[in-house]
Chain A
Amino acid sequence: MAASTFETPKLLNDTATLPIPPIKPGAMQGVQSFIAGDKIQEQLGYPGELLPNWKERAIERMGELLQKYRGLQVFLDACVHCGACTDKCHYYLGTADPNNMPVARQELLRKVYRRYFTFAGKYFPKLVGAIDLTEEVLDQWYSYFYQCSECRRCSVYCPYGIDTAEITMAAREIMDSVGRGQKYSNEILGKLHRIGNNLGLPGPALEDTLAGLEEDILADTGVPVRLPIDQKGAEVLLVTPSADFFSEPHVESLIGYAKVFHAAGISWTLSSTASEAGNFGLFIGSYENMRKAALRIREAALELGVKRVVVGECGHAWRVAYSFWNTLTGVGAGAEDPFGKMLQQQLDHRYKQPSHICEVTWDLIQKGAIKLDKSANDHRIVTFHDSCNVARASRMGDIPGGQFIIPREIIKACCNHFYDMAPETIYEGTYCCGGGGGLLTDDLMEVRVKGALPRMQALKQVVDEKKVNFMATICAICKAQFTKVLPYYGFPMSMVGGVHQLVSTAIQLGTNE
């Protein structure tokens, strides 16, 4: 992989936040992820290489997106360059590259928008900072739109709610449309379309893995907890990130979900054709690809005849499931059209569709349907990292902010020692892990390590002051990113884990029989 010759930023003592760095223009200009080859591009319906008429096509695609997405149109017009967002991006705080300030990142696209779509930009380009689309601009787009994790932190602080994630997604879609795609995201999305999950695990491999996990749980607990797959007539279809099947610490949470269903006596199943909750169609801003990936889940739900669809611990997957599934596939309620009704008549609307696994578990805890022994987690001093897509793009439960409350309540029900990080670094102001939005690739390690800086600083404070030794999170990307990045900052990689890993440790099996 690309040689990493960067320096890990230094953490400070006795503070949760670092000073805002002075700008260093061009600091991250050359840092780019690998470009997708023709096979990868074509699987997603994009040109295999940069089109000869790419400029015309890019402008044309921008025009199409402007007519399809009100958000893009408003966001490109409304910015007044007030500067409110300039210190809000973790990539700016970690790299000091001014193009990682949300407004400057947006300007990379906005300058071209102005030139081709606005009166002022057409006739007075210098005055308003409008520029022609050139190779150099495309190169900057490719650098900086893949140094954004689409975490939406900037959108919280913008007086007009301008969401850089929407701009980044549009820019990526424009680049894909002219044949300039990112290898990492597009390859994974291709695997999902072809095989059914991001890891490219075929059904038989998945069955073997699940059988192995059942044996492990039996050996550990003496209880035959099952991990069923393709069980028609099960009540719950669980859709979880495929990392849960193989990666550490993800698999510990999968075991946790299985124990919860077992202890509560709920019949459930995984699906070999919809064995992925993640949906990288979101990251590249492709409605069509996102919809195609989500349709696998609709088909599995219809095929298996389940009454409930539940989503495992994955941040962007929960955003897609919570916010978009009803739109894309009809997993939800309130449809008046035949397509949506077909599935919605099958689902049990006493439960929210879809539900997050944390909503399921919290509901069972409140009902007393599962029993937890907090002291089993006494060796852990826990904090909670709010994952960006859960925090700022979704909800749990019935009230705004339920996505902050429910995971914390579960943790408190499972552990005696819980401490939050500094208030400005959690909840809606949470810092992204640094690896989301299609950046979780080794070729972007410098971006990932530096982007994790604000979270690492806040973590250091609770490690120093509260002796925290476990950072729980509910996102597969956060888990993978932190596992890799924690050691750069001198923390053990085993510090990160899932909320259901804590549940798994504390849950009392067999008590409800």
Chain B
Amino acid sequence: MTTTTVFFAALFYVATAILVLGLARKIYQYASTPAPLKIPTTPAPTTKTGVVLRMAREVILFESLFKSNKWIWLFGWLFHVGLAVVLFRHLRYFQYPVWDIVSLELVQAAGKYASFAMVAGLIGLWARRFLVDRVRYITTLSDHLILLLLIGIGITGMSMTFVSHTDIVGLKAFMLGLMRFEINPLPEDPLLMAHLALVATLMIVFPISKLLHAPGVFFSPTRNQVDDPREHRHLAPWAAELEK
């Protein structure tokens, strides 16, 4: 067993632990912090079903962003949908046997070409950080680095798909091994190692960065509250204490 294999195995265990525990901690924090007042941005749905639909439109279609700015919507949506389709294709590296739906020709082909949409979206978003003075003003170093990280993941991945194929059988053995706590050798392809290192970095920064928007949106009281304050008394525990 090579040092590289041990290093990447360790890296993925650590990254997964940080991602899962970090996100669990933040989600627990969001879920357990009370929202003492009814603050949905109105017009808002008056039923729970309506709220589920509003949230679905928000996370699938980026409804509010669409209302706001068509360029950001286009680039942002291309990136996120591209990423989702690419990730779905990637399930095959973690499954044995692979789900039928994942092994479909269509899903695999879509997963390959969606990477172009993903990277195009990222480049568009990055360009705005230089070209629009308002966006340039609010951009931090970490905003650039996260875009760079994602573009790096996209480019290394695409290179292995379209330019120089990696030992995919070896990779799958390595990944399935990790999931069963067995360490199998990782193919020592520089592109693959770069890709995996960047992905692990993304997993590590996820719970300590703005990537928290992913769980955060579901807990946003302006989007997830039902507009029914006159019909139901809404009282946080700490606010109820004031009545005693």
User: With A127-B141, A155-B222, A334-B233 given, is the CB distance from A327 to B26 under 8 Å?
Assistant: no
B33-A70 in contact (CB<8A): yes
A68 contacts B by Cβ under 8 Å: yes
B221-A71 in contact (CB<8A): yes
- Which residues in chain A, 85-120, are within 8 Å of chain B measured between CB atoms? 85-88, 98, 101, 103-104, 107, 118-120
A127-B145 in contact (CB<8A): yes
B64 contacts A by Cβ under 8 Å: yes
B68-A161 in contact (CB<8A): no
Mark B228-242 against chain A: 1 for CB-CB distance below 8 A, else 0.
011111111011101
- Which residues in chain B, 8-40, are within 8 Å of chain A measured between CB atoms? 26, 29-30, 33-39
B48 contacts A by Cβ under 8 Å: no
Q: Determine the distance from Cα of A161 to Cα of B217 in the docked complex, in whole angstroms.
A: 8
Q: Determine the distance from Cα of A332 to Cα of B183 in the docked complex, in whole angstroms.
A: 62
Mark A162-199 against chain B: 1 for CB-CB distance below 8 A, else 0.
11001000000000000000000000000000000000
Q: Determine the distance from Cα of A127 to Cα of B149 in the docked complex, in whole angstroms.
A: 14
In the assembled complex, which residues on chain B have CB atoms less than 8 Å from the CB atom of A118? 208
Chain A nearest CB from B55 CB (Å) reads 10
In the assembled complex, which residues on chain A have CB atoms less than 8 Å from the CB atom of B76? 82, 159
Chain A nearest CB from B151 CB (Å) reads 16
A84-B69 in contact (CB<8A): yes
Chain B nearest CB from A112 CB (Å) reads 14
Q: Which of A74, A81, A159 contacts B65 (CB 8 A)?
A: A159
A339-B142 in contact (CB<8A): no
Q: Determine the distance from Cα of A287 to Cα of B72 in the docked complex, in whole angstroms.
A: 36
Chain A nearest CB from B134 CB (Å) reads 4
B140-A129 in contact (CB<8A): yes
A287-B239 in contact (CB<8A): yes
Nearest residue (CB) in A for B216 is A78
User: With A337-B233, A395-B227 given, is the CB distance from A78 to B222 under 8 Å?
Assistant: no
User: With A163-B39, A323-B38 given, is the CB distance from A86 to B134 under 8 Å?
Assistant: yes
Nearest residue (CB) in A for B43 is A400
Mark B105-148 against chain A: 1 for CB-CB distance below 8 A, else 0.
00000000000000000000100100011110111111101000
User: With A85-B68, A334-B233 given, is the CB distance from A400 to B44 under 8 Å?
Assistant: yes
Binding site for B on A (CB under 8 A): 20, 22-23, 25, 66-71, 73-75, 77-88, 98, 101, 103-104, 107, 118-120, 126-129, 152, 155-163, 166, 287-288, 291, 322-324, 326-327, 330, 332-337, 339-340, 352-354, 391-395, 398-401, 403-404, 428
B42-A393 in contact (CB<8A): yes
Q: Which of B35, B36, B50, B220 contacts A78 (CB 8 A)?
A: B220
Q: Determine the distance from Cα of A330 to Cα of B230 in the docked complex, in whole angstroms.
A: 9
B64-A330 in contact (CB<8A): no
Name the residue among A67, A69, A101, A291 with the largest chain B CB count within 10 angstroms.
A69
In the assembled complex, which residues on chain B have CB atoms less than 8 Å from the CB atom of A335? 233
Mark B182-201 against chain A: 1 for CB-CB distance below 8 A, else 0.
00000000000000000000
B229-A332 in contact (CB<8A): yes
Chain A nearest CB from B135 CB (Å) reads 4
A337-B243, A339-B243, A399-B46 given; name 5 further pairs at CB < 8 Å: A66-B33, A98-B134, A128-B142, A392-B42, A400-B45
A-B contact count (CB 8 A): 229
User: With A83-B72, A161-B64, A332-B231 given, is the CB distance from A119 to B208 under 8 Å?
Assistant: yes
Q: Determine the distance from Cα of A392 to Cα of B222 in the docked complex, in whole angstroms.
A: 10
In the assembled complex, which residues on chain A have CB atoms less than 8 Å from the CB atom of B139? 81
Q: Determine the distance from Cα of A8 to Cα of B242 in the docked complex, in whole angstroms.
A: 47
Closest 10 CB pairs of A and B: A78-B216, A157-B68, A161-B222, A400-B43, A129-B140, A83-B135, A86-B134, A161-B223, A84-B68, A70-B33
Binding site for A on B (CB under 8 A): 26, 29-30, 33-39, 41-46, 50, 58, 62, 64-65, 67-69, 72, 76, 125, 128, 132-135, 137-143, 145, 208-210, 212-213, 216-217, 219-223, 227, 229-236, 238-240, 242-243
B217-A160 in contact (CB<8A): yes
Q: Determine the distance from Cα of A120 to Cα of B206 in the docked complex, in whole angstroms.
A: 11
Chain A nearest CB from B124 CB (Å) reads 12
B208-A73 in contact (CB<8A): no
A322-B33 in contact (CB<8A): no
User: With A78-B217, A339-B243 given, is the CB distance from A104 to B39 under 8 Å?
Assistant: no
B37-A159 in contact (CB<8A): no
Chain A nearest CB from B84 CB (Å) reads 16
B210-A79 in contact (CB<8A): yes
User: With A23-B133, A128-B142, A392-B42 given, is the CB distance from A70 to B30 under 8 Å?
Assistant: yes
In the assembled complex, which residues on chain B have CB atoms less than 8 Å from the CB atom of A25? 137
Q: Determine the distance from Cα of A67 to Cα of B34 in the docked complex, in whole angstroms.
A: 8
Nearest residue (CB) in A for B210 is A80
Chain B nearest CB from A315 CB (Å) reads 13
Q: Which of A82, A152, A159 contacts B41 (CB 8 A)?
A: A152
B137-A120 in contact (CB<8A): no
In the assembled complex, which residues on chain B have CB atoms less than 8 Å from the CB atom of A107? 138
A69-B33 in contact (CB<8A): yes
Chain A nearest CB from B141 CB (Å) reads 5
In the assembled complex, which residues on chain A have CB atoms less than 8 Å from the CB atom of B135? 81-83, 86
A400-B221 in contact (CB<8A): no
User: With A160-B217, A327-B37 given, is the CB distance from A86 to B138 under 8 Å?
Assistant: yes
A127-B229 in contact (CB<8A): no
